[in-house]
Every structure is written in C-alpha cells, then in structure tokens.
Amino acid sequence: MFPARRMRRLRRTAKIRSMVRETVLTKNDLIYPIFVDETIEERVEIASMPAQYRLPLSEVRDEALEVVSLGIPAVILFGIPEHKDEVGSSAYSSEGVVQRAVREIKDEVGDDLVVITDVCLCEYTSHGHCGVVKEGEVLNDPTLELLAKEAVSHAEAGADIVAPSDMMDGRVAKIREALDDSGYESVAIMSYAAKYASAFYGPFREAAKSAPAFGDRRSYQMDPANANEALREVYLDIQEGADMVMVKPALAYLDIVAKVKERFRMPTAAYNVSGEYAMVKAASQAGYVDEKSLVLEVLTSIKRAGADMILTYHAKEVATWLERGE
C-alpha cells in the first residue's frame, strides 16, 4: 500500500520502462496485404487508403523485394481480375491474377517471403458475393467445391499458406482435404475464423472492387454483437484442420482476440482492416493525431490482446520505424 507501494518508480526513465514492458512489437508480427490488379499497367493509389496501391503484375517482383528488404516476413495477396462471372471462374484458373502473382513472387524471393493467398470469390464474381448465388441466396455447399479448387490452384502456384475469408460452413475441412488429395499436405491454412460483417471493410471493397451488387454479407459473416459464437466458429475451424486462426476486424474486436487466444492457444492473427487504416490516415492527415504514435499504440494493443500476427496496411511504415529503433 501507498506509500510503500509506488507504481511510478518503474515508469521513471525510458530504460526502466523498457525493462518492464510486457508487449514488444516486432517485424515478425507483421503481414502486409497486397492488391494485384490485372486490369492496369501502372500502380494506382487507392483513394480511401492513402499510400496503398493496386499493383499491376509487372510490379509484384519489386514489391516483394521491397517487403523482404524491410524485414517483413509475409504478405497476403488479393486479386482484381480482368474477367468476372457468376461463379468467379478467374478465382481458380491457373492463369488467374493471384496465381500469376504468386509464381512471380516465389520465383523472385523464394522462401525469403511467406506468401499467403486470400481464398474467396467476391473479387471474382459479377455479383460480388463470396459464394455461388441462386435466387438471391448465397449457397453454402456448392461454394465449397469452388473454394477448394481456388485453394489448390494457389498451392500449385506456390502459396505457402491459404487463407479462406468467405465464411462458408465447412470450407476449412473441404480445403484441407483437397490440398492433401493434390499432394499439398504441407501448405498451411490460416482461416478467417471469426470474421464479422463489418462496416470497416468499406475501403477494401473499393480497392478490390468487391462490394456486393445486392444485399450485404450478413447471411455469412458474423453479427458484431456476438462473442460466444466467435468461439464456436474458431473451435470448428480448428477441428476442421486450420493451422492458424484469425479474428477480423481487430480494433473493435480486441475482446474476441483475447478470448480466442486464451481459449485455444492457437497461432492467432488479427486483421487491422482497411477502415481502421483509413481512419488513422484521415485523422493524421488532418493533423488531429500523431500518426506514428497512434499506429504503434494500435498495433501494440492488438498484440497485447493476444494476436501473434497482425495483418496491417501500416506494415511497411512500421518496419521502417522499428528498424530505426523509433
């Protein structure tokens, strides 16, 4: 009790604070999302995500080299295809944009960079939903076959990890089985296990041109009001064979990150999504906050909550700051 107990003693100098710091952000925590767009020849900045770009295929090698040189261990790839149709056939074509990007990147940097691919249909379907649509409904089981084909084609191209983000039931089991049947038993699955139907995805949908043409995603993504359900989602994905699990978005869902980590002790990722990035950028550009301090606080908090890995559009800036010891 006071005065014997004084908490401020260990906050007195920077060195003392560094000795008792419980959470330290490192470059190894970072996963950088990359958008590869088959329809462009030069990079295009994403209006709602300043300093983030859609890249043409011709730039992915250099991008990968830059990410490696910054010491970031992994990227996650999203594709914007030339061709969209009802069943998202470009998603599982060996000549699809992500498949080509993976081959380019792996040819350039090999195992120096972990390549994760987002497995979903929404960027590839004409209606923008994450599955097969019939009479206005997103069908679960027919979608599983397509997702499994997509995952196998990513593995064939050289992906190290596939990350299904569609939220169909049973997709992890189906993908695991398909990967194993095709000889890709060492390709890992990072499942977007607790993925919420969130307004924070707005800028991403502009970037990936993947907004649903009708309705919304609430019949497959989770209700933001639910926490118990997230634990059941994560449990099922682990049972089905997920090697890593993800909670998405991150900031408004830190309670979920904490619960998932505590309950399952799995390698746990959190996705610091596009809307979270856009808010920080907008506020810092307006001069309302100090960007660097804010970003480091946000990411440290996500790690403190229990995330082992953070998917973040701030990855490159953070890696640069950490390198300089800032």
Q: What residues are labeled active site?
A: 195, 248
Per CB under 6 A, contacts with ligand PBG among 52-111 are none
Q: Does 118 bind ligand PBG (CB under 6 A)?
A: yes
Tell me how long the chain is. Answer: 326
- Looking at the Cβ atoms of 205 and 209, the one nearer to ligand PBG is 205
CB of 158 to ligand PBG, least distance (A): 20
**What is the torsion angle, in degrees rounded to the nearest 10, for the CA atoms of residue 139, residue 141, residue 145 and residue 148?**
100
Phi, psi of 24 (to 5 degrees): -125, 120
- Looking at the Cβ atoms of 113 and 273, the one nearer to ligand PBG is 273
Q: Are 147 and 171 in contact (CB under 8 A)?
A: yes
Structural tokens at position 324: 């300089």
> What span, in angstroms and rounded, lies between the C-alpha atoms of 36 and 169?
27
Q: 35, 201, 220, 253: which one contacts ligand PBG (CB under 6 A)? A: 201
Angle of helix 171-181 versus helix 228-240 axis, rounded to 10? 20
- Looking at the Cβ atoms of 32 and 184, the one nearer to ligand PBG is 32
HEC-encoded secondary structure of 94-120: CCCHHHHHHHHHHHHHHHHCEEEEEEC
> What span, in angstroms and rounded, lies between the C-alpha atoms of 171 and 250?
22
Closest CA to 275 of 34, 52, 5: 52
Q: Does 312 bind ligand PBG (CB under 6 A)?
A: no
- Looking at the Cβ atoms of 41 and 216, the one nearer to ligand PBG is 216
Q: Which region among 13-21, 85-93, 150-158, 200-208 touches ligand PBG (by CB under 6 A)?
A: 200-208
Q: Does 205 bind ligand PBG (CB under 6 A)?
A: yes
* Bridge partners of residue 80, in order along the sequence: 37
Q: 187, 273, 278, 280: which one contacts ligand PBG (CB under 6 A)? A: 273
CB of 305 to ligand PBG, least distance (A): 18
Angle of helix 291-305 versus helix 254-264 axis, rounded to 10? 30
> What span, in angstroms and rounded, lies between the C-alpha atoms of 64 and 60?
6
Q: 64, 72, 115, 130: which one contacts ligand PBG (CB under 6 A)? A: 130
Q: Does 220 bind ligand PBG (CB under 6 A)?
A: no
- Looking at the Cβ atoms of 10 and 282, the one nearer to ligand PBG is 282
Q: Does 165 bind ligand PBG (CB under 6 A)?
A: yes
CB of 120 to ligand PBG, least distance (A): 4
Q: Does 304 bind ligand PBG (CB under 6 A)?
A: no
Residues near ligand PBG, by CB under 6 A: 118, 120, 122, 130, 165, 201, 204-205, 217, 273-274
